[in-house]
Amino acid sequence: MKYKILIFFLLLIPNYTHGHVFQFNDEKGVKYHIRTFSIQEVLHNNILRGTFDLKYEGYLEVINITSDGAHIKGKYLYYNKPYATPLPYKLENMYHTNTRFIRKKNGAMMVDKSLFFPVVRHVPKFPDQDISIGMGWSARGEEAQDLRKLGIQNPYIMPFNAKYRYLRDEVFRGKNCAIIEIIYIINRSTHQRIGVKNNLIPGRIMGYFKGNYYWDKDSGYPVYYEGDYNFIYVLMNGEVREFRGKEYGDVTKDPDLRKIVKIKPEKEKLDKEIKKKIEKDNLKFPVEKKDDKIVINLGELLFDFNSSELRKDTITQLDKLAKILMKYDNLDITVEGHTDSIGNETQNLELSELRAKSVRDYLVQKGVSPKRIKSNGFGKSRPIATNDTPEGRRKNRRVEIIIHLKKPEEKK
């Protein structure tokens, strides 16, 4: 069993300098696409049994607005793939993916008890008051867990009390966002007797989720979130199963009638910001600003000699990089492949193109928008060192991530 922590619309309460009352700004006909990515470890009796690369997607549409709130319908999909491999995600859940619910402006939700989705509900309930930076509040929420593999056929509802804190404002993906911290803890007994042989029904479930959410204050929805979780199931037969991991995700809105935010001042410090994030994730990729570009040099370590297939032992580095790049989804990205001068020129050009495409395709698979990232190969034509020495040739064999601070039409 894989613990499903699909975070649907963890929409939080931001504010302006003097405080603001926030509400969900749903409109009839608006569609939402929700994505969550999670690297999850599963332990049985404190022994690691596996690591899983999980992906969740939600496709929702506001079909009506009434005095009760926004009537929303759609479906959720759950994917899995072997961890640290370039293999594509595989769809796991084929049933019980549809949903239909009502959400009030304050975040309260009305969901039929037979529905498994959304998993996280009533998050958040907005207080009817001004919220300023530094302020906190709490509100009741719940998770609806799918425990059919453990013998519980209906959604198992676990209530919790979520605690929120408005941390700061930030221009994020070109939007005026509030950063909100959320923490909730679950500690629930099923009132079943522990120690019943061969019975896999949970006797107690406990754990937490903690993360930060980026709320678009102009459009009234979250554009991104990240967090970590750890949940423990004590089964009636005495077994203990633990599900822990880190996750991140985003929401896109169509149409998004938000106000355009000028982000030029933010671009001046992006190179230092990205470099700090890369160092925090223990990635050894040099970051350099060149004119209107930020260049992240991945080197040649992603590939074996003369191969364009990503190495398994380096894919975890791309996972971390994809998470960072998702945060700059308002900027265009190019993946460039380069080689040294040894060998056939045509073959080198083809190899550089294939390597750049492999990196580009994997970053898209891990959440980077395909509309904003492309790949090019340049063979030996753009060296950064001499090709007369082994060290120089090693430096020239590289893949670079180019983040464009200006679109072509913006350049003079």
Q: Which residue carries 């509309």 as its tokens? A: 371
Average pLDDT over every residue of 266-286: 85
Average pLDDT over every residue of 377-399: 94
Q: Which of 61-65, 183-187, 270-274 has the lowest mean pLDDT?
A: 270-274
Q: Count CB neighbours of 389 within 10 A.
A: 10
Distance (Å, whole) CA 142 – CA 108: 11
* pLDDT-based confidence at residue 98 (cuts at 50, 70, 90): very high
Secondary structure element (H or E) that encloses residue 324, with its range:
helix 312-326
Helix count and strand count (H, E) for the chain: 5, 18
Is the predicted pLDDT of residue 186 greater than 80, yes or no?
yes
pLDDT in tens, 134-167: 999 999 999 998 888 777 788 989 999 999 999 9
The number of angstroms, rounded, from the C-alpha of 231 to the middle of its chain's C-alpha atoms is: 19
Handedness of CA 18, 24, 29, 30 (dihedral sign): positive
- DSSP string over 258-311: PPP---HHHHTTHHHHHHHHHHHTT----EEEETTEEEEEEETTTB-TT--SBP
- Residue 277, both tokens: 């994030």
pLDDT in tens, 297-323: 999 878 888 899 999 888 999 999 999
pLDDT at 2: 44
Distance (Å, whole) CA 169 – CA 16: 8
Where does residue 409 rank: exposed (0-12), middle (13-18), buried (19+ CB within 10 A)?
Answer: exposed
The b/e string for 354-372 (b: 16+ C-beta within 10 A; e otherwise) is bbbbbbbbbbebbbbbeeb
Q: Count CB neighbours of 279 within 10 A.
A: 12
pLDDT at 195: 62
Q: Choose the most confident range, by mean pLDDT, from 142-151, 224-233, 283-292.
A: 224-233
Secondary structure element (H or E) that encloses residue 211, with its range:
strand 202-216
Is the predicted pLDDT of residue 383 greater than 50, yes or no?
yes
User: Which residue type, as a one-letter code, is found at position 324?
Assistant: I
Neighbouring residues of 151: CB distance < 8 A, sequence distance ≥ 6: 199, 200, 201
Sheet harboring 287-290: ordered strands across? Answer: 287-290, 293-299, 398-404, 332-338, 373-377
Quote the Cα angle for 377-279-228, to 5°.
105
Q: Choose the most confident range, by mean pLDDT, from 195-209, 280-294, 366-380.
A: 366-380
* Strand runs labelled E in 67-174: 69-82, 90-91, 98-103, 109-111, 120-121, 136-145, 156-172
* pLDDT-based confidence at residue 189 (cuts at 50, 70, 90): confident
pLDDT in tens, 232-274: 999 888 899 999 999 999 999 987 655 444 445 456 678 888 9
Average pLDDT over every residue of 7-28: 63
Distance (Å, whole) CA 31 – CA 252: 8
Mean pLDDT (the chain) is: 87
Where does residue 49 rank: exposed (0-12), middle (13-18), buried (19+ CB within 10 A)?
Answer: exposed
Is the predicted pLDDT of residue 356 greater than 80, yes or no?
yes
Distance (Å, whole) CA 206 – CA 188: 6
Q: What is the pTM of this model?
A: 0.85
Average pLDDT over every residue of 106-130: 90
Half-sphere exposure of 295 (CA within 13 A, CB side): 13
Residues linked to residue 142 through DSSP beta bridges, in sequence order: 121, 159
Distance (Å, whole) CA 322 – CA 325: 5
pLDDT at 193: 67
Q: Which of 5-14, 106-115, 213-222, 310-319 has the lowest mean pLDDT?
A: 5-14
Percent of the chain surpassing pLDDT 90: 65
